[in-house]
Structures are given as structure tokens and as C-alpha cells.
Amino acid sequence: MPPTAYSWAAAVVLVTVTLVSGRTAPAPVPAPSSAPVDKCDCNPSIKALTGECKPFRLASKFACDVDPYKPHQMYPRPQMLRGNDTWINLNGIWEWEANVGWEDGAPPINRTLARNIVVPFGVRADLSGVEEPYRVGVTHMWYRRSFQLPGSWRNLRNAARTLLHFGAVDWQAQVWVNGVEFPQHNGGYDKFAVDITDALKHGNGGQHELIVRAYDPTDSAHIPLGKQRKSPVKKDIWYVGTEGIWQTVWLERVAEAYISRLDMIPDVDAEHLSITVQGNKHALGMPVRVAAIEDGQKVSFGEGVVGRPFNLSLPNPRLWSPVIFGGEPFLYDIEVSLYPAATNSTVTKSTAKSTADALDTVKGYFGMRKALIAPLPNNGPMGFWPDGLYTAPTEEALCWDIQEALRLGFTTLRKHIKVEPDRWYYCADKLGMLVWQDMPSLFWEDPFNDGLYYRHPQEKAQHTHELTRMIEGWGQYDTQKVVQAAHSQDPSRLWGAASGWVDPQDITADKGAKYQHYTGYVGEVRDDHKYPGPYSSGATKTRASVNGEYGGIKMYVDGHSWASRDDSSGSDVDNSTKLQARFIELLHNGIKLIKASTSLSAATDVEGEVNGIFTYDRKVLKYDDQDLVRDEIKNLVNALKE
């Protein structure tokens, strides 16, 4: 069997480490684009909205691949699929305007808005097509579009309800369909859905009106926001915020009783998968049948009921293992069917093959992996883009950071205080990349309405896709309570309480009265940050030592930077030969001290920070000899394994 390693990586605030931040299956990892990367004179979004040719502030290598009429068309939820004929994508050109009179303003029902925007790009992103000065200082905004339902949906078996999905809206969203208002959603990183079935009765000849009001205070309120700031200071470590819709909007046709989520926890030692099938209120308590699929063949079957955990046996399972170890990132397919309560719950190999009587059937995937503390070097992508900000320009761009990190030999990506779309985690799972997941930090230290309220749902929503995760220390409060709550949901993963700030078990730190009560479980990782480093304070009996941030050596590259040289963070070296030498020196220093993991900051430049391996536009690798760099990283991995 391939090795079963899981790991911690440290990415220095990998803030920019984009290296930096048959079956109805999602498409495979995209092939590289054939379009030239060095020239993108016209912003395609502005061209589509106004007919004018205007340049980007800085275009990524994927900027001109964007189709403003049909951006991000891939199925947005690869971890749980229904048929291709059960969903439609609503990304594209919408109406938009700033909501100046938001306090008493009524929704713009049957009113054309002043401007247009390309969804799902945030308002301040160049690819949104919203130009200066209209996008500056906007915290409240309206979105509007119309849609029609496919005629084929009338013929879908058991189809009864229509769900409207949002991948993410930063930060608050209020939705109207045909004038019917739906409950407000708060949270800029978690996906949500509303059942719009009854509102569809009020359509106009098959045309339906969708209105979204978004509010994003960014750093003027106490909300999770990560690195975003409304007015980032030059030469600082904060970046332009993403307001409004920034992930895919889509419609889905489902049954009256339907499956809403699959919570899966592998247990390699016990040779089973613990699975909880979640459903809507009509599905609670209904029987479900599950089949694990290996290379197209159903190899294991199980049964349970909605809302309760049960086990799916997998004798001698094939394991998901990172490619860096020469292993195979094998993923089982899984098929889950929901049956009426009267269905005989006895599952046999013959009856489990058919889903003809099922009310709902979904397909997904899982990996049998075991989280161990292992010594690994890693890099961290921030997930920022010069043209899309929080939103990658294309599907290829979304996976590019992962592919490049693997190509250079990194074992892990630390996703720094940002939660990505589901498809990003799918790329990591398929390609065999470990993920160290930070939770988006708050702006202030003291909780607002108990900060656990904000972070805990985000962690739960993502826990089925992320291979590893940590809770970032920025905006730290009641650290032990948060990490224990997260660990209780999924003990199969490695957890860290604080990333580089106040360690809960550091008895020498002046933590203040509210930090003095930490005893017991605080995660499996103790994380140190030091520049240029690396540095380790040492492991304990229960916690591995990782160097979560180090490096940060800066080099400005003319023509490939967001800010001017004077407005950037400056340069520590003036050429790629020197930068590469410093990088290799830091790698060698890491071999001497690291106990579990070391994380280099960062994968890419981001705005005024120029400490990346790649430039912000992803066009320039800053090292002279990428083969030498890859060999040095490989040597580090081998040294740490011995």
C-alpha cells in the first residue's frame, strides 16, 4: 500500500503563495491554455459591457481566457453531484448598482439597474467590469437578473423543488425572487441555498426576476475577512477587499425529500468510512443506501438513515496518499440513494445496484487517508488574483497554483485565512496535494456575538473537502474552545489552535487573564513564525513543531507587479540568482531543525507584497533554475523522511 501520511505545512502567511493562496463527474483538471500569456490588452469584461478596449491594472496569464457571458461554467459542487440535466449556471452579465439609500430602499423590483457586472467577480475586481469611480467605497449594492427554467425539468422524475445556490457572497446577502423575500444570510465564505419553488409561481410568462442585496463592511465591522481591507495601506500586508458575489450562482432541481450534504470521515485502521447523510426536513429519518465504487465497480455497500452516522466497510482499502511520496491520490466514488420510509431497509449486493426506486441519488468521492504528523515542506497560496481578486479568472487558473506547487516539489499548500470554492479542494484531492486550511480571521480580537458563531459553521461546511486544516491565530480569542469544537466534528484531521500568535500552552507569554485557562486538548500542532527563519520552539509529547511562516525574501519584477516599485514592500535582492541562493539556504537551514513541517512564504506576490516564488500575474518564476530548486526541495523531503 502507498504510505498514509498527512501533514502540516507551514506557509508563511502564505499569503501569497499561489503556489501561493460514465459518472456525472466534474471535469478533470484542465489542460494548460494555448492562448498567449504575455499580452492581454483589453479587459474582456469591460469590452463585453461597454464595447470599449481598456487595459487591466495587471492581467494574470489567464485574464484573456475569461468569457464574460459564461464565466466559471464547471459544476460547482464536485463533492456531491446529481445529473447534468438537474442544474443551470447563472454566472454571467447581471445588472448592478450601488445601494446608496440602503436603510430605507425597497428592492428594485421590475426596475433596470444603472450598470452591469460580470458575476461571479467581486465588484472591485477588474474582471467584474465595474469601472472607477463606481466601485469605490461601495458597501451596499444591488444585483438583478432574469432567468428561465429549462423545459426539460418538467420531465425529471421526482423533481419537485428548485434550489437557488450561492457559492459565496461577501458578507451579507438578501434575496428576492419574483418579489418574494427570503431570509438573510450572513457569512462571506460559506455557501448557502434557498428553496425558491413557491416564489416561481409568481413569474411572468416563464420569466423570473432574481434580486440580491449585498452588504460588506469589510474592516469597518467585526466579521471574518482574512487579508481583505477596504483601503489597504501601501507597502503593507493587506489587500483590496472583495465585496458582493464572488462565487458561482446556480439553480438545482431536486425532489421533495432530498439529500443536502455528505459528511464523511475515513478510518483507515478500522477499514471503514463513517458517513452521515444529511437531508432536508422531509428526508429526516428516511433510509439511505450507499455504494463505494472502485474503478467503476461497486465494491462495498451500506445502509443507514438520514441524519445519523453509520459505517461503510472497506476491507483492505486503497489509500489516498500524496504524490510527493510516490503514492497514489486514489479517490473512491460514492453513490448515495434516498428511499421512501416504507422501503425495505435490508441492503444486499443485488438490490443496492439499482436506484430505480430512489427519491434522490447523488454521487461524490472520498479518500481513505490517515492524518499523521510527518515532516514536510510546504508553500501557501493566498488565493488572490490581480484581475479577479478573490475569484480566480478561470477553472484552469483555480488549479494552477496547486499544479505549480507540485511541479516544484512542495507537499502541502497552506490556504491562508481564505476558504476557496469547492472546486479548488477537488483539484487538490485529485492531484494529490495536502492542504493546510486556515479559517478566515476577524479584524478585532474580542468576539462579536461570540466569534465561534462565525467560524464554526464555516469549518463544518468545509470539513468534507479539506485534507488538513488549522485555525489561524489572527483575531485570536478563546482559542481552545474553538479548536475543541472543530476537533469534535472531525477527529480524523490534524488541528492547530493558533498560527504564529499566542500559543495556548506557552507559559512564558503574557497572554492576559482571558488566555490563562488553556489546559487539555489544543490541537496536534505548535506553530512558530519567524522571518527570515526558519525557527522551531520544539515539539511536545502531544504536539508536533512546525515553522508556519518563514522566508519572505522580496524581489520586485518590473512589468509584472501590481504596485510601483516605490509603493511595494521593496526588494531584499536585486536578481533571481541571489533570490534562488537565499531560498536554497533557507531550505538547508530547515533540515537542521524542523520536526514536522516548514512553510515558505509565499507562492506568489500579492499587490504590494513581492515575496512570492511567482509574480502576482503568475507569468514569471523568480528563480533561475527551476530544476535545481525542485531537486533541493526533493532533497529536503528525503532528509526529513529519514
Domains of the chain: total: 3
Does residue 320 sit in the same domain as residue 408? no
Q: What is the DSSP letter of 472?
A: -
- Could you identify the residue written with the cell 438545482? 252
Residue 236 has pLDDT above 90, yes or no: no
Distance CA 293, CA 264 (A): 15
Does residue 196 sit in the same domain as residue 49? yes
How large is the average pLDDT for residues 279-300? 97
Q: What is the DSSP letter of 25?
A: -
CATH number at residue 109: 2.60.120.260
Cell of 541: 509529547
Does residue 243 sit in the same domain as residue 341? no
Cβ(455)–Cβ(439) below 8 Å: yes
Q: Residue 170 falls within a domain, yes or no?
A: yes
What are φ and ψ of residue 6, in 5° steps?
-130, 165
What are φ and ψ of residue 219, in 5° steps?
-90, 10
Residues 6+ apart with CB under 8 A from 334: 262, 264, 275, 290, 291, 292, 293, 363, 364, 365, 366
Distance CA 246, CA 225 (A): 13
Cα distances (angstroms) measured from residue 559 to each of 115, 384, 393, 615: 31, 18, 20, 10
Cβ(423)–Cβ(401) below 8 Å: no
Provide the 3-class DSSP secondary structure of residue 432.
coil
Q: Residue 51 falls within a domain, yes or no?
A: yes
Looking at 366, 383, 411, which one is the last position of a domain?
366
Residue 36 has pLDDT above 70, yes or no: no
Size of the chain in residues:
642
Task: Report which of 447, 448, 449, 495 is spatially closest to residue 472, judged by C-alpha positions.
Answer: 495
Distance CA 480, CA 516 (A): 11
pLDDT digits (tens, 9 = 90+) for 476-510: 667 777 788 878 888 888 887 777 666 766 655 55
Give percent above pLDDT 70 in the chain: 80
Cα distances (angstroms) measured from residue 271 to each of 34, 312, 332, 375: 44, 9, 14, 25
Does residue 200 sit in the same domain as residue 238? yes
Distance CA 583, CA 13 (A): 16
Does residue 337 sit in the same domain as residue 386? no
pLDDT digits (tens, 9 = 90+) for 350-382: 344 466 789 999 999 999 998 766 556 566 677
CATH number at residue 469: 3.20.20.80
Q: Residue 257 falls within a domain, yes or no?
A: no
Does residue 339 sit in the same domain as residue 313? yes
Does residue 457 sit in the same domain as residue 596? yes
pLDDT digits (tens, 9 = 90+) for 459-484: 444 443 333 333 333 446 677 777 88
Does residue 106 sit in the same domain as residue 215? yes
Looking at 335, 366, 397, which one is the last position of a domain?
366
Give percent above pLDDT 90 in the chain: 53
Q: Residue 23 falls within a domain, yes or no?
A: no
Is pTM beyond 0.75? Reply is yes
Looking at 305, 340, 366, which one is the last position of a domain?
366
Does residue 398 sit in the same domain as residue 348? no
Q: Residue 6 falls within a domain, yes or no?
A: no
Task: Report which of 528, 532, 468 is spatially closest to residue 502, judged by C-alpha positions.
Answer: 528
Helices (H) and strands (E) in the chain, counts: 7, 29
pLDDT digits (tens, 9 = 90+) for 178-203: 999 999 999 999 999 999 999 999 99
Q: Residue 107 falls within a domain, yes or no?
A: yes
In this prediction, residue 8 carries a pLDDT of: 27
pLDDT digits (tens, 9 = 90+) for 194-235: 999 999 999 999 999 999 999 998 888 878 888 888 888 787
Provide the 3-class DSSP secondary structure of residue 515.
helix
Q: Residue 29 falls within a domain, yes or no?
A: no
List, in sequence order, every beta strand (DSSP E) within 404-506.
412-415, 434-437, 496-499
Does residue 151 sit in the same domain as residue 243? yes
Q: What is the DSSP string of 486-507?
A: HHHH-TTS--EEEESS--TT-T
How large is the average pLDDT for residues 260-285? 96
Does residue 534 sit in the same domain as residue 550? yes
Q: Look up residue 505 and give its amino acid.
A: Q
- Domain containing 299 equals 269-366
What are φ and ψ of residue 260, in 5° steps?
-110, -25
10 Å Cβ neighbour count for 399?
Answer: 22
Range scoring the smallest mean pLDDT among 13-22, 24-33, 112-121, 184-193: 13-22
Q: Residue 261 falls within a domain, yes or no?
A: no
Cβ(68)–Cβ(45) below 8 Å: yes
Does residue 169 sit in the same domain as residue 197? yes
**Cβ-based burial of 638 (10 A; exposed 0-12, middle 13-18, buried ≥19):** exposed
CATH number at residue 311: 2.60.40.10
Distance CA 168, CA 440 (A): 14
Q: Strands 544-551, 272-279: parallel, antiparallel or unpaired by DSSP?
A: unpaired
